[in-house]
Amino acid sequence: MKKTVKTIAVFASALCLLASRPMAARADMPYETYNFNFWGEEVLQPHSYLYSGSISTAQIGSALRYPQDMCIFEDHIYVADTGNSRILILNLDGSTAREVTAADGAEDLLNQPQGVFVTDAGHLYVADSGNSRIVEYDEDLNFIREIGRPETNLISASQAYTPVRLVVDHSDRIYVIAYGINMGLVEFDKDGVFQGFMGATEVSVSTFEYIWKNYFSTEAQQARMETIIPTEYSDIFVDDENFIYATISNLSEEDHMQGADMVRRLNPTGTDVLRRLGNNDITGDLNGRSFSTFVDVAATDYGCYFILDSAGGKIFAYDYDGNSLFAFGKKGIKEGNVQQPVALALGDGQDKIYVLDNTLGSILTFEITDYGRHLLDALRLNDIGDAEGSNREWQAVIQSNSNNEMAYIGLGKTYLAEGNYKQAMEYFRLGNSRKYYTKAFFYYRKELMEANFGKAMLVLGLGIVIGLAVYYVFRFRRWVGEVKCFMSKR
Amino acid sequence: MLYVETIKYGFYVITHPLDGFWGIRRENKGSLAAAFTFVVLTILTLTIEKQNTGFLFNMNRLSELNVLVDIFTVLLVYVLWCVANWCTTSLMEGKGRMKDILIAIGYALLPIILIRLPMVVMSHMITADEGTFYYVLGTISYLWTGLLIFTGTMTIHQYSISKTIVTIAITVVAMGILMFIGLLFFNVIQQMLTFVMTIYRELRFR
């Protein structure tokens, strides 16, 4: 009898244990979140963003056909619904608020617009690709103006001009990516006057290639060879400092092998100023088997940026210095997977990430987790100079993920500032940062030397004294011996 | 000659290479035991260097360190060089015997031990900015050893400088050929063993 009771008790407690196990809710995400360590290996880490639903036909009320671009302004999502030749303005819950199909009057229809942008003042800019023009609307969606083909002899008259993406910076300069124009971004001033091309990607030809092409190959071979064309940008984003993030997607395998830029941060003169100080290159996946294709980018105002990779259906996050923060997302057919992602936008600060999928015709939303919030907050607080707050956030990050090298470096920096050099060294070692380790070590060594200089000198002095004493004692004894010998000889 | 004295002679060799190697060839001042001691110490030095160099200068991934691989790499290169050198020099009228080559190369490794071992200690005491000294020392250790191998080969075989250069080049090629033959041999043996094993199994299962 007793035994039965015992057995039941054991079973009951076992059941309790099973029931109280933390729910594996996070594990059923249709993707994994990982980051790259110092050695460039993928290391799984807690999810930074969780899939939280999608906006598709049911919410919108009509189907999207091959949408190309998306922009978020205040409480609305602006979608360039290219296949339906319209701009859709959605509320954040997905219901349609407005629809724009015409430009100047009801007769003047949009034709497959591929790019959409909303300025700080709420003005809507549309890249009306089919009509080769940019259209501007005011905050009430009244037509203001259209900006046509740039008037310049830099592009020949026969060359098509198809604007596909555009941004307007905070000084109202307009930057446009156009198909077939490989001289960089097309820049218009605020009156819509063509200013020039900006941020042209350099053509890189190796010496060997140049000599081979020009001196050793026949004309037939030359004709068959690919002509060297500079890369075109795939998408642009303007950040709060008027700098333009631009992604490049049409790279060949060779370009990837040679380490061609996949994303740039252009200053107003068109020079790439993206910081590449991380341990790994900013190339998305690093495995060398498959290459990422960057199709869109969005940045926070503290310099972190998110890049959308259409090849793997992933989102990669980097900080201001170019350290990779995390990567998540997957191509597939499960809910929460993407098929052909084309655009990315941040909502609610950066608490939500919206991804527009061209094939699915829907917008996937991802919501930040506590872990992701701690990580981004640590960087944000660091950016505004709140070291204490940043430290607190890094502690929280380490608690969830002891593999996070950046957190170790972040905490190490605090210890370094506090003057706790030994601890700082240990953290920099864990974070694999030789750059900061050597700083901490320099001060640690100085401290050690200053503290022990007296002792060291004492030991050295004593050593010299004892050494001299021994030497002289021996000399004296030898001298005594010699004297004795001398005496005895006499 | 006493073992201890042949060890001491190593210090004379690295500072007076021409005279020193001549002493090894003609006056039997070196010994195989000392040479092997230096080889073992070199292996030890390189292993300690990999494991214990300070974090700032240590780019090795300690979790993937395999001491056996390091040991066999050094041993293989040492033996392969000596055999290849002996093969070429016996065809090219070299005066050195196998023993001389083994001793000369062993003694030539001494700078690596003498410089790189203190470098491990040093790496814990300097910052990255002062790393230049560290790297210069490292380069010196290898240059010194390289120079010793060159002079050693020249002296024990009684070659001119140009002939030594040619010999060393041929030795390197010969090392490659030896490696190739070795791999081929291993492969064939493996195939044969598999064949025999298959027949044995076949017979047993009948």
Find the CB nearest B61 among A39, A429, A434: A39
Which residues in chain A are closer than 8 Å to B56, comparing Cβ atoms?
434, 437-438, 441
Question: Percent of chain A scored above 90 by pLDDT?
Answer: 56
> What is the total residue count of chain B?
206
Sketch the domain layout of chain A as residue ranges.
27-387, 388-490
Q: Do B127 and A438 count as a contact with CB atoms less than 8 A apart?
A: yes
Q: Do A434 and B125 count as a contact with CB atoms less than 8 A apart?
A: no
What would you report as the CA-atom Rg of chain B, rounded to the nearest whole angstrom? Answer: 21
Note the pTM of the prediction, 2 decimals: 0.79
Residues 6+ apart with CB under 8 A from A34: A42, A43, A44, A45, A326, A327, A328
> Looking at CA atoms only, how far is residue B53 from chain A in angstroms?
13
The chain-wide mean pLDDT, for chain A, equals 87
Mean pLDDT of A389-401: 93
Q: Which CATH class is domain A27-387?
A: mainly beta
Question: What CA–CA distance (Å, rounded) separates B169 from A37?
Answer: 42
Residue B128 sits in which domain range? 3-172
Chain center to CA of A42? 16
Which residues in chain B are closer than 8 Å to A441, comparing Cβ atoms?
56, 127
Percentages (nearest 5) of helix, strand, coil residues in chain B: 85, 0, 15
DSSP A18-40: HHHSPP-GGGGSSS--EEE-TTS
Position B15 in a domain: yes
Question: What CA–CA distance (Å, rounded) separates A30 from A313?
Answer: 12
Neighbour count for residue A445 (Cβ, 10 Å): 15
> Looking at CA atoms only, how far is residue B27 from chain A in angstroms?
38
Collapsed DSSP state (helix, strand, coil) of residue A289: coil
pLDDT band at residue A9, thresholds of 50, 70 and 90?
Answer: low
Residue A113 token pair: 């617009």
Closest-CA residue of chain B to A39: B61
Q: Does B63 touch chain A (CB under 8 A)?
A: no
Question: What CA–CA distance (Å, rounded) separates A60 from A68?
Answer: 16
Interface test with B, best of A438, A442, A445, A447 (most B CBs within 10 A): A438
Question: What CA–CA distance (Å, rounded) separates A36 from A457?
Answer: 48
Which residues in chain A are closer than 8 Å to B53, comparing Cβ atoms?
none
Q: Do B125 and A445 count as a contact with CB atoms less than 8 A apart?
A: yes
Find the CB nearest B128 among A39, A429, A438: A438
Question: What CA–CA distance (Å, rounded) separates A408 from A403?
Answer: 9
Q: How many Cα atoms within 13 Å fall on the side-chain side of residue A340?
A: 9
> Looking at CA atoms only, how far is residue A193 from chain B in angstroms?
52
Total domain count, chain B = 1
pLDDT band at residue A228, thresholds of 50, 70 and 90?
Answer: low
Interface test with A, best of B60, B126, B127, B132 (most A CBs within 10 A): B127
Residues of chain A in Cβ contact (below 8 Å) with chain B = 39, 429, 434-435, 437-438, 441-442, 445
Mean pLDDT of A402-431: 92
Which residues in chain A are closer than 8 Å to B127, comparing Cβ atoms?
438, 441-442, 445
Interface test with A, best of B53, B56, B57 (most A CBs within 10 A): B56
pLDDT band at residue A258, thresholds of 50, 70 and 90?
Answer: confident
Q: Does B62 touch chain A (CB under 8 A)?
A: no
Closest-CA residue of chain B to A442: B127
Question: What CA–CA distance (Å, rounded) separates A150 from A153?
Answer: 9
pLDDT band at residue A22, thresholds of 50, 70 and 90?
Answer: very low
Collapsed DSSP state (helix, strand, coil) of residue A236: strand
Q: Does B125 touch chain A (CB under 8 A)?
A: yes
Q: Do A438 and B61 count as a contact with CB atoms less than 8 A apart?
A: no
Q: Does B61 touch chain A (CB under 8 A)?
A: yes
pLDDT in tens, B100-125: 999 999 999 999 999 999 999 999 99
> Looking at CA atoms only, how far is residue B56 from chain A in angstroms?
6
**In the A/B pair of chains, how many CB contacts fall below 8 A?**
18
Q: Do A434 and B55 count as a contact with CB atoms less than 8 A apart?
A: yes
Q: Do A441 and B127 count as a contact with CB atoms less than 8 A apart?
A: yes
Question: What CA–CA distance (Å, rounded) separates A67 from A88?
Answer: 10
Q: Do B56 and A442 count as a contact with CB atoms less than 8 A apart?
A: no
> Looking at CA atoms only, how far is residue B170 from chain A in angstroms?
31
Q: What's the confidence (pLDDT) of residue A23?
A: 41
pLDDT in tens, A285-301: 887 778 999 999 999 98
Interface test with B, best of A433, A442, A444 (most B CBs within 10 A): A442
Question: What CA–CA distance (Å, rounded) separates A280 from A273?
Answer: 17
pLDDT in tens, chain B (206 residues): 789 999 999 999 999 999 999 999 989 899 999 999 999 999 999 999 999 999 999 988 888 889 999 899 999 999 999 999 999 999 988 898 999 999 999 999 999 999 999 999 999 999 999 999 999 999 999 999 999 999 999 999 999 999 999 999 999 999 999 999 999 999 999 999 999 999 999 999 88
pLDDT band at residue A230, thresholds of 50, 70 and 90?
Answer: low
> Looking at CA atoms only, how far is residue A285 from chain B in angstroms?
22
Question: What CA–CA distance (Å, rounded) separates A94 from A122?
Answer: 20
pLDDT band at residue A261, thresholds of 50, 70 and 90?
Answer: confident
Q: What's the confidence (pLDDT) of residue A201?
A: 64
Closest-CA residue of chain A to B129: A438
Position B7 in a domain: yes
Interface test with B, best of A436, A437, A452 (most B CBs within 10 A): A437
Q: Does B127 touch chain A (CB under 8 A)?
A: yes
Closest-CA residue of chain A to B126: A442
Residue B117 token pair: 């071992």
Position B193 in a domain: no
Q: Do B127 and A442 count as a contact with CB atoms less than 8 A apart?
A: yes
pLDDT in tens, B125-158: 999 999 999 999 999 999 999 999 999 999 999 9
pLDDT band at residue A21, thresholds of 50, 70 and 90?
Answer: very low
Does the pLDDT value for residue A475 go beyond 60? yes
Backbone angles phi, psi at A107, to 5 degrees: -75, -30
Q: Does B40 touch chain A (CB under 8 A)?
A: no
Q: Does B128 touch chain A (CB under 8 A)?
A: yes
Closest-CA residue of chain A to B58: A434
Selection from A1-10, A262-271, A304-313 with the highest mean pLDDT: A304-313
Collapsed DSSP state (helix, strand, coil) of residue A402: coil
Position B177 in a domain: no
pLDDT in tens, A319-367: 999 999 999 999 999 989 999 999 999 988 889 999 999 999 999 999 9
Position B196 in a domain: no
pLDDT in tens, A204-227: 677 777 787 778 777 777 766 655
> Looking at CA atoms only, how far is residue A435 from chain B in angstroms?
8
